[in-house]
Chain A
Amino acid sequence: MISSLANTRDYVAECWQAWNRFWFRPTDPATLSLVRFLAGGMLLYTHLVWSLDLQAFVGPEGWLPVDYMRQIQGQQWSVWSVFFWIKPVWLLWCVHVFALIVFACLMLGLFSRPAAVLSYLLAVSYAHRVSPGAFFGLDKVNCMLALYLMLGPCGARYSLDRIRRFRRGDTSPAMPSTSANVAIRLMQLHLCIIYLFSGLAKLAGENWQAGTAVWWAVANFEYQSLDMTWLANWPVLVALLSHVTVFWELFYCCLVWNRFSRPLVLWLAVGVHGGIAIAMGMITFGLAMIFANLAFLSPATVRRWVDPFAGWGARKLTGAK
C-alpha cells in the first residue's frame, strides 16, 4: 500500500516536472521573432488589400450593413469590433491607416510588444466585422498568430527594437525567455487542434473516404489558379493525394512531436499548403499556414538560416561594417 502510494507520488512528481519542462523552460526567442516578422507581414498585406474596397467590406453600410451583421451574429456582446461603432468615413479611414501602421510596426519589430497587442485587437476587429460574409481561413490563422505573438518577447530578434537597443549601447544578447516558450507552445498546440479537427471533418466526407476529394478541389473553376485537370488521367494519384492529406492531418498532432517524424510532417505541410497556394489561388492562406508551422522549428535552426540575413539587414540599417 505504501509502495503504491509512493509510486503514485513519484508519477505525479514526474508529470509535474515534464509539464514544467514543456511549458516553462526558457527558450531563445528566435522562432517567435521569425513568426512575428512573417505573420506581421501577412497581417499588413491582408489589411492593405481591404483598402481597395474598404467601405464596401468594413464600412457601416457596405455589402452587409452593421445592423444586419449584429443580427446574424446573435447580438452577443462578446462578438465585438471597433467597426460596429464607426460611422463617418473619415474615421473609418483613420482607424484603417492606424491599423496598417500597427501591422507594419509588428512586421518590422518596432515597439513590438504594444504593436503585437494592438495588432491582435485590430485583426479581431476586422475579422468580426466580416464574419460571416467575407472571412475565411486566413483570418482565423492571422488572429491565432497575433494572439500568441503578444504573449512573448516577439521583438527580441530580427527587429528594429533590437537595432534601437544596439544604438543605445545595449549589446547584451537576447536572453532565453519563458514567455517565448509559452507563446510558441500555445501556437504549436493550437495548430495540432486545427489539423486534428480538419482531418476529422474530412473523415465524414464520402469523397475524402473514396479518395476523390482532391479532384473536386482542383476542378473548382472559381478556386483554380493553376490548371490541374490533367489529374483526370491520374485517378490513383488523386486518391493518394486525398488519402495522404487526411492521414497527415489526423496524425499531425502525434507525429510532429517526434524529432524523426517532424521533418516529414513539416515538409508535408509545405507541400499541402504550397499546393493550395499555387493551384487553388489561396496564396495568402497557404503561406499563413506555413508560417504557423514554423513554430515547430527549433531556435537553433531558425538562427542558422535567418541570422545571416538579419545581420546583413542590420548592418545596412546601422551603417556598420
Chain B
Amino acid sequence: MSKKRFESNPTVRPNPPKPSPPQSSSRGGSGLPWHVAWRCLVSLFVALHLTAVFSAPWDLATQSALPPGYMAPQGQPDLPPANSSVWQRPAVTRALRSFFSHYLNLAYLNHGYEFFAPDPAGTHVINYRVTRSDGSTVEGQFPDLKEQWPRLLYHRHMMLAEQTEMMGRESGLHYADYLATLHSGTCRLEWAIHFLLSPQRVLDGTPLDAPSTYQVIASLNGNPRRGASNNASSGELPVVIPGGGR
C-alpha cells in the first residue's frame, strides 16, 4: 500500500479540507449541505435538547424562598412546613424540569453538576465486622486504599459510603445485609463521618487521619439475605448528619 494513501502521512503536512462549495437552491441557497427543512428540524431538536440539559442543573440550583422579611406567627416554628403556601416556589425551573423529566432520565442528563459545591465537606467511612456461626470474624472498611485497587474501584467504594447520606439509613442496612450474605454471618456496621482539619491544626501536627477526626454517627446490624428477598434488619437509629441535604 502506498504511503501517500494515508492522509496522516507524517512527511506531508495535511491540508484541512475546506467547507463544501455552495450547492443548489434546493438547499435554501445557503451553501450548506443540509436542506433547509432538515436544518429547521434539527434546530428544533437542538434547542429543545439544550433547554432540557440546562433545566436540570438550573432547577437543582434553585430553592423555594420565604417572602422578604417573613416573620413566623407567634407560637409557630421559624420556618413554615414544606407544604405551606407561604413558600415561593421557583415556578419556571420546576415546570421546565418537570416537562423534560422523562427525557432527562432516559438520556441520563438529570444532573446538577455541583462538583465540590456548595463547599467541600468531610467524607464518610463505613467499618464493619461480620461474625460467623463458628465465632470467626471478618473485619473491613470502605473506602480502603489497601483493599480496593485500582483507584477507580476505591472511589466507587468511597461513593457507596458517601451517598448513604443522600439515600438514608436503609441503604446502610442493605450494605450490612450484603456483607452478612457475602461472609455468611451477622454484620455489625458502623457509619462514621471524617471531619476535616483546619490549616492551623495541620500546622500544629495533627495528622489528617487522626482518630479524633472520626465520629461514628450510626450503627446498623445486618443478616444474610434469603434468596432474592431482602430482610431489612434493625439497628440503632442514626443521628442526623450535619450538612445533609440535596
Q: Which residues of A contact B (CB under 8 A)?
A: 17, 19-20, 23-28, 30, 45-46, 49, 52-53, 56-57, 60-65, 67-68, 72, 76-80, 87, 123-124, 127-128, 130-140, 143-144, 147, 157, 166-167, 171, 173-176, 178, 182, 186, 189-190, 193-194, 196-198, 200-202, 204-208, 213, 215-217, 219-225, 229, 231-233, 235, 238, 281-284, 299-300, 303-304, 306-308, 310-312, 314-315, 318-321
Tell whether, in the assembled complex, residue B116 and residue A52 are in contact, meaning their CB atoms are under 8 Å apart: no
Q: Is the pair B112, A197 in contact by a Cβ cutoff of 8 Å?
A: yes
Q: Which 8 A-B pairs have the closest CB atoms?
A: A311-B8, A205-B118, A201-B117, A197-B57, A232-B199, A78-B105, A205-B119, A320-B1
Q: Which residues of A contact B106 (CB under 8 A)?
A: 78, 80
> Does B65 lie at the interface of the complex (its beta carbon under 8 Å from any beta carbon of A)?
no
Among A68, A79, A205, A206, which residue has its beta carbon within 8 angstroms of that of B105? A79
Given A63-B175, A220-B122, A315-B3, also A20-B32 (CB < 8 A):
yes
- Check B113–A63 contact: CB distance below 8 A: no
Residues of chain B within 8 A of A235, CB atoms compared:
199
Contact at A134–B53, with CB atoms within 8 Å? no
Total A-B pairs in contact (CB under 8 Å)? 266
- Chain A residues with CB under 8 A of B166: 132
The answer to whether B20 touches A136, judged by C-beta atoms less than 8 angstroms apart, is: no
Task: Assess whether B233 is interfacial by the CB under 8 Å rule.
Answer: no
B228 on the interface (CB 8 Å rule)? yes
Which B residues fall within an 8 A CB radius of A? 1-3, 5-10, 14, 16-20, 30, 32-34, 39, 42-43, 46, 49-50, 53-54, 57-58, 60-61, 101-103, 105-109, 111-123, 125, 143, 150-160, 163, 166-167, 170-171, 174-175, 178, 181-182, 194, 196-197, 199-200, 202-203, 208-209, 213, 225, 228, 230
**CA of A215 to CA of B120, assembled, Å:** 9
> Is the CB–CB distance between B171 and A64 below 8 Å?
yes
Q: Are A53 and B153 in contact (CB under 8 A)?
A: yes
Closest to A207 in B: B119
Write the chain A residue with the least CB distance to B39: A24
Task: Enumerate chain A residues within 8 angstroms of B18, measured Cβ to Cβ.
Answer: 176
* Cβ B167 vs Cβ A72 within 8 A: yes
Q: Do A207 and B120 contact each other (CB < 8 Å), given the known contacts A23-B46, A68-B170, A78-B105?
A: yes
Contact of A220 among B112, B178, B196 (CB under 8 A): B196
Q: Report A132 CB to chain B, min CB distance, Å.
A: 5
- With A132-B163, A132-B167 as given contacts, are A220 and B46 in contact (CB-CB < 8 Å)? no
Which A residues are CB-close (under 8 A) to B228? 60-61, 87
Beta-carbon nearest neighbor of A204 in chain B: B118
B60, B103, B116 pick with most chain A CB within 10 angstroms: B116
Extra contacts besides A174-B17, A221-B123, A303-B14 (14): CB < 8 Å? A46-B152, A68-B170, A78-B102, A78-B103, A124-B107, A130-B156, A132-B163, A133-B171, A204-B117, A204-B118, A213-B120, A221-B209, A311-B8, A311-B9
Which residues from chain A contact B199 at a C-beta distance below 8 Å? 215, 219, 231-233, 235, 238
Contact B159 A17 (CB under 8 A): no
In whole Å, how far is B120's beta carbon from the nearest beta carbon of chain A? 4
Contact between A186 and B155 (Cβ–Cβ < 8 Å)?
no
Q: A127 to chain B: which residues have CB within 8 Å? A: 108
Q: In the docked arrangement, what's the CA distance between A60 and B229, Å?
A: 11
The interface residues of chain B lying within 8 Å CB-to-CB of A132 are: 163, 166-167
Q: Are B7 and A173 in contact (CB under 8 A)?
A: yes
Please measure, in the bound complex, the distance between the C-alpha atom of A158 and the C-alpha atom of B230, giving whole angstroms.
49
Contact A229 B178 (CB under 8 A): no
Q: Could you say which of A17, A62, A281 contacts B30, with CB atoms under 8 Å apart?
A: A17
Chain B residues with CB under 8 Å of A205's CB are 117-119
Q: Are A62 and B113 in contact (CB under 8 A)?
A: no
6 contacts between A and B (CB under 8 A): A20-B32, A63-B175, A77-B102, A134-B163, A194-B113, A311-B10
With contacts A300-B16, A312-B10 taken as known, whether A216 is within 8 angstroms of B119 at the C-beta atoms is yes
Indicate whether A281 sits within 8 Å of B167 (C-beta atoms), given known contacts A166-B1, A197-B114. no
Q: Which residues of A contact B54 (CB under 8 A)?
A: 193
* Contact across chains for A197 and B174 when beta carbons are under 8 A apart: no
Residues of A within 8 A of B42 (CB): 23-24, 182
- How many Å from the CB of A52 to the closest CB on chain B? 5
Chain A contacts for B101, CB-based, 8 A: 76, 78
The answer to whether B10 and A307 touch across the interface, beta carbons within 8 angstroms, is: yes
**A142 vs chain B, min Cβ distance (A):** 9
Contact B2 A320 (CB under 8 A): yes
Least distance between A133 CB and chain B CB atoms (Å)? 6
Per the bound structure, the CA–CA distance linking A204 and B202 in Å amounts to 26
